[in-house]
Structure 1
Amino acid sequence: MSDTDYIKIFSGSFIVVQLVMDRLISVGINAILKDESESGRLAGFGSSIQGFQELYVSKDELDSAVPIVEAVKAELQ
């Protein structure tokens, strides 16, 4: 995803990523979810880190998305 207008804003376990994604969706931010372990499993390959996912948002939505990610991180500490 290096040649796109999307930036990785968060990575972590499935549950935490889903929480962040739900919060982003609730304010109208469309995030893209990347799960290489699931992609590898579907292709017949294994992965050493199961359930690890990444969230990407458009550069245009970055300023709105970062505070949401930071708030979720603070709640979990």
Structure 2
Amino acid sequence: MTDSNFIKVYTGNFAVVKHIAMELNTLNINPIIKDQSESAILGGFGGTSAPDFQEVFVHKDELVRATEVINKITKDLDS
């Protein structure tokens, strides 16, 4: 197992992940979006049981600011 400078900060559907990515980009935080189903299809393994499932990673130095943005977005979705 290797150490990474990136930390997973959110897992969810495509629409919310895109919203989070746009908000993070406005703060000059460049998230990495990992799409398990797309990776499986490209690798020839077919889709996954959760086709709308994506993960957002940010650099560990940007974790605090990214978490604040994500908490605000998810709070707004819950209300």
Q: Same fold (TM over 0.5)?
A: yes
TM-superposed CA distance for 1:2, in Å, is 5.6
TM-score by length of 1: 0.93
The code of the aligned residue for 1:43 comes to G
What are the equivalent positions in structure 2 for 1:1-77 lying under 5 Å apart? 3-45=3-45, 46-77=47-78
Kindly provide the CA deviation profile for residues 22-70 of structure 1, in whole angstroms up to 9, marking residues without a partner as x: 0000111011010111010112222111020000001100011100000
Identity %: 42
SS at the partner of 1:8?
Answer: strand
Runs of 4+ deviating beyond 2 Å: none
Aligned length: 77
